[in-house]
Chains A and B, each alone.
Chain A
Amino acid sequence: MTKPVLSRFSYPALVWRRTLAGVGVTLSLSWLALLIFAAVFAPFLANSMPLLMLNQGELSAPVLSYLSVEDVVLLGAALLAGLLAMMKQPMAQRFWLWLAGCVVIVLLANALVKPPALVIYDDFRSPPFSTAEWRLMPPIPYAPTDYLRDINSKGLEAPFASQGHWHLMGTEENGADVLSRMIHACRISLSIGLIASGIALVIGVIIGGLMGYFSGVIDMLGMRLLEIFEDIPTLFLLLTFVAFFGRSLYMMMVIIGVTGWTGYARFVRSEFLKLRKQDYVQAAIAAGLPLPSILFRHMLPNGIAPLLVAVSFGVAGAILAEATLSFLGLGVVDAPSWGQMLDQAVKSSTFNWWMAVFPGGAIFFTVFAYNLIGEAFRDAIDPKLANDSEA
């Protein structure tokens, strides 16, 4: 008896379709898309300087000359991702191309982009900017660190409280616009989540994969290493490093990544122990295929799904770790982050709801969104659930 062809979809496409089936996931992905959009285009969304300006017959874009290295890197990476999304190459190939492109962009941006060291936002509200014939301002005409001293802002204004200039989410104690700070803070939360988890994932897959494939002595040594790393309290290690080496976002990413791989390694190990006995892996060994091919082509793609679920929870964890650190006043100083904004809310003399609700809500929704995506993904790859819905 020959069965009819079941489906022409590849396995990844099938999983993707199943993941997207729920409403919660669609909302979560929309929320993340919004955050990514805000993070990439932050200088164009919330800034004190005009996007375009016509002064004495001369058209200029002041915002471009003030773009920082990070701004350029993010824009370049997003642009590259957009371009690659339209190409027809296999997913994995496009991912590696994107990664290589990002490295080039980082190097180029560091070499070429030289923004002015000092920005005085008051200048943008005086001539020649204020006297220009025509100018196009960003939707939120305040930079995150623009304290609006020249317009006598007293700080701590509730949303819509003041006449003349609108602050949708109010201002904080220094007089800076909360919404503008929220938008710029997306970057830290998104990047720390993705980069820290990325570092953890790479270490975890390699160590866990070797442990699972070789088992025996290597497995035993690996497990001991893993237990050592599991015993390191990440928060206290972060505190120590901040105390000794000062505050740095990149250092936080590395530390969270280097201490966070143990869970992934356990996942990969158990998957590989199981996969090693699968007939197709045995067949690959019997065919004399080289070890990297067996590990990364025949085993990893079949064992990676539970790992990706774990990663989505890990990203949420990293965001929380950064928020915790900033909340304790040990985060990054110069750029706003959601945790730091919460810290400000707690430290201000009176309770100002708009300073706590917006960053707190953003952290909550982001972590919640990652968890929802993780859960939907876990259900999508579970063959038992899949059979229920398609048998």
Chain B
Amino acid sequence: MSDVLLDIRGLSTHLQSAGRLVKAVDDISFTLRKGETFCLVGESGSGKSVTALSVMRLLPETIASHPNGEIIFQGQNILALTETEMQAVRGSRIAMIFQEPMSSLNPVMTIGEQITEALLLHEPELTLEQAEQKALTALTQVQIPNPEQRLRTYPHQLSGGQRQRVMIAMALACEPDLLIADEPTTALDVTVQAEILKLLQSLQRDLGMSMLFITHDFGVVSAMAHSIGVMRYGKLVEVGTCSDVLRAPKHAYTQALLNSLPENLAKPTQVVTVPNDAKASTQPLIDIEHLNVWFPIQKGLFRRTVDYVRAVDDVSLAIYPGQILALVGESGCGKTTLGRALLQLEKPTSGNIRLKNQLLTGLSGRALRPLRKYMQIAFQDPQSSLNPRLLIATTLTEPMKVHGIGENQQQRLELAAELLTSVQLSPDHLWRYPHEFSGGQRQRIGLARALCLNPEFIVCDEITSALDVSVQAEILELLLTIRAQRHLTLLFITHNIGVVEYLSDWTVVMHKGKIVEQGPTATVCQSPKESYTAALLSAVPRLKAFM
């Protein structure tokens, strides 16, 4: 027998729902050797996860069918096994870890109970002590500090990265031959992601298992994969070794995907950068002095404030006209809170914010209203950023009416139509509801709404994080065009270093509510002064090594 562990031949998975048939996976074939990693890459909806679930036979049989194809795992066709036979394979020989470590663990059972339960299910001959011993070994393997104590903790007491380690420990406890990892690091911060990826690699080396790794992130792919399969609309458009596919992609779609990565996007030529020495003379558009945003932690009968969560802690920052300032940091570092505090959506605890020398902090809602039109915000989540009950026309014209832009509704509608054209949508889209649009289209509408008051300053809060790379590239290019046309100043909040390098001319790094480092993007990204920035940058998985 050869060293092929998993051989997928002409697999199709059709999903049936409400009378519609979706060819989620359409005639794909690939092989996975022992001890190697096969990465399935593709944008959302391309069928990567359905492929993984088909291998695990986890799709509900009422809606999923496999009209043709075989999944040969260790010489056995998985699709031909009975459900009881499959249960013996699942968990013990093929294990799976998921994207969301929070919802994959049972919150009312301790970590130890959950691992031993899985173990005893597959190896009933073990005693409880043996199982606990094995669980302990597994936790030690995934390098959790104090594994003995961790056995008795509940999932909520662990951080996201530790939860994912526990998930891996659970998957590895039965020593599977194949580990399927479905976007295991997508929900994690880059530094945590880097640790988890390193852990998976070392475990693979030690245990000699194979991995089917699903991701949308080419940086992760280049770090993990031995071979790669690129999926689109349920079809495998390109299969090859990692270096072949990344260095010399043959298929046009793979090329397009690689080209739309922010680090590969052509930098626009007409970037207006503010020379650093000129800054002393120009007036900052926004001036933040010793800003604090603290959230009280209240306890006890009288909700006494015992302590504060210092989301933004003594931050001073100046934003100059025409600048694209990138605010970088990991989740929970206070970057979003800072962005919202700028617009007075979050009440600062203390400190001053000035817009064009006009003090914003402490102003009443009424006094603030005329100033609102100078600064706007665009959001991350395309699902919740638009009011589902309002026509796009209403969403765009209502703020104009309040601020006296346009003389009558007809004129405002014309302005709104122009706005939609400028974000590359059709004026007809005015008369639609948000649920009729795709994620990328909604982000464009979100931008149009931010632009409808002709602001000078826009906070872009992770506006491309929820989007596929190709859509992200379009939105970023659009943002740069609009910014050049309208002489906008942008505060771009993101955790994606690639986007920062592509877009911004000034970078601010935040950590635990404080600004750690700031400077021109090129300087900060190439030669960081602070150790935290350096750690953050080195954790980012990059394609560059391959280029």
For A2, the chain B residues whose CB sits under 8 A away are 438, 440-441
Produce 1/0 per residue, A365-391, CB < 8 A to B: 000000000000000000000000111
For A285, the chain B residues whose CB sits under 8 A away are 345
Contact: B379 with A279, CB < 8 Å? yes
Contact: A279 with B384, CB < 8 Å? yes
For A132, the chain B residues whose CB sits under 8 A away are none
Q: Does B340 contact A (CB under 8 A)?
A: yes
CA distance A7 to B177 in the complex (A): 45
**Which residue of A has the minimal Cβ distance to B381?**
A279
Interface size class of A (residues with CB under 8 A): 20 to 34
Interface size class of B (residues with CB under 8 A): 35 or more
A289-B399 contact given A1-B43, A283-B385, CB 8 Å threshold: yes
Produce 1/0 per residue, B368-390, CB < 8 A to A: 11101101110111001111111
Contact: A8 with B398, CB < 8 Å? no
For B370, the chain A residues whose CB sits under 8 A away are 288
For B395, the chain A residues whose CB sits under 8 A away are 280
**Which residue of A has the minimal Cβ distance to B470?**
A1
Q: Does A286 contact B (CB under 8 A)?
A: yes
For A8, the chain B residues whose CB sits under 8 A away are 436
For B340, the chain A residues whose CB sits under 8 A away are 282
Q: Does A163 contact B (CB under 8 A)?
A: no
Q: Does A10 contact B (CB under 8 A)?
A: yes
CA distance A191 to B428 in the complex (A): 44
A283-B436 contact given A1-B468, A301-B389, CB 8 Å threshold: no
Q: Smallest distance from the beta carbon of A312 to chain B beta carbons, Å? A: 20
Contact of A289 among B44, B45, B402, B440 (CB under 8 A): B402
CA distance A290 to B372 in the complex (A): 12
Contact of A288 among B45, B380, B403 (CB under 8 A): B403
For A18, the chain B residues whose CB sits under 8 A away are none
Contact: A288 with B379, CB < 8 Å? no
A287-B17 contact given A279-B379, A293-B398, A302-B387, CB 8 Å threshold: no
Q: Smallest distance from the beta carbon of A247 to chain B beta carbons, Å? A: 43
Q: Smallest distance from the beta carbon of B458 to chain A beta carbons, Å? A: 10
Q: Does A348 contact B (CB under 8 A)?
A: no
Q: Smallest distance from the beta carbon of B518 to chain A beta carbons, Å? A: 25
Interface residues of B in 427-471 (CB under 8 A from A): 432-433, 435-436, 438, 440-441, 446, 449-450, 452-453, 468, 470-471
Contact of B377 among A286, A289, A297, A298 (CB under 8 A): A286
Q: Smallest distance from the beta carbon of B467 to chain A beta carbons, Å? A: 10
CA distance A286 to B468 in the complex (A): 27
Contact: B470 with A11, CB < 8 Å? no
Q: Does A243 contact B (CB under 8 A)?
A: no
Q: Does B266 contact A (CB under 8 A)?
A: no
CA distance A389 to B137 in the complex (A): 45
For B17, the chain A residues whose CB sits under 8 A away are 391
CA distance A288 to B389 in the complex (A): 19
Q: Which of B343, B433, B453 has the most CB of A within 10 A?
A: B433
Q: Does A174 contact B (CB under 8 A)?
A: no
Interface residues of B in 328-362 (CB under 8 A from A): 340, 343, 345
Produce 1/0 per residue, A339-350, CB < 8 A to B: 000000000000
Contact: A287 with B43, CB < 8 Å? no
Q: Does B18 contact A (CB under 8 A)?
A: yes
Q: Does A130 contact B (CB under 8 A)?
A: no
A10-B433 contact given A283-B377, A287-B453, A288-B372, CB 8 Å threshold: yes
Interface residues of A in 43-81 (CB under 8 A from B): none
Q: Smallest distance from the beta carbon of B371 to chain A beta carbons, Å? A: 8
CA distance A68 to B350 in the complex (A): 67
Contact of A1 among B402, B403, B471 (CB under 8 A): B471
Q: Smallest distance from the beta carbon of B301 to chain A beta carbons, Å? A: 13
Contact: B368 with A288, CB < 8 Å? yes
A278-B384 contact given A287-B372, A290-B402, CB 8 Å threshold: yes
Interface residues of A in 257-307 (CB under 8 A from B): 278-280, 282-291, 293, 297-298, 301-302
Produce 1/0 per residue, B86-113, CB < 8 A to A: 0000000000000000000000000000
Contact: B45 with A1, CB < 8 Å? yes
- Identify 17 new A-B residue pairs, CB closer than 8 A, beyond the known A280-B384, A293-B398, A293-B402: A1-B438, A2-B441, A5-B432, A10-B433, A278-B384, A279-B384, A279-B385, A282-B340, A282-B377, A282-B379, A283-B377, A286-B372, A287-B376, A287-B449, A287-B452, A297-B390, A302-B389
Instruction: Enumerate the 8 nearest inter-chain pairs by beta-carbon distance, A residue then B residue, closest first.
Output: A288-B372, A287-B399, A279-B379, A288-B369, A279-B385, A3-B438, A301-B389, A280-B387
Binding site for A on B (CB under 8 A): 17-18, 43-45, 340, 343, 345, 365, 368-370, 372-373, 375-377, 379-381, 384-390, 395, 398-399, 402-403, 432-433, 435-436, 438, 440-441, 446, 449-450, 452-453, 468, 470-471
Could you jot down 19 A-B contacts, CB within 8 Å?
Answer: A2-B438, A5-B436, A6-B436, A8-B436, A11-B389, A11-B435, A279-B385, A280-B384, A282-B379, A283-B449, A284-B387, A286-B372, A287-B373, A287-B402, A287-B452, A287-B453, A288-B373, A288-B402, A297-B390
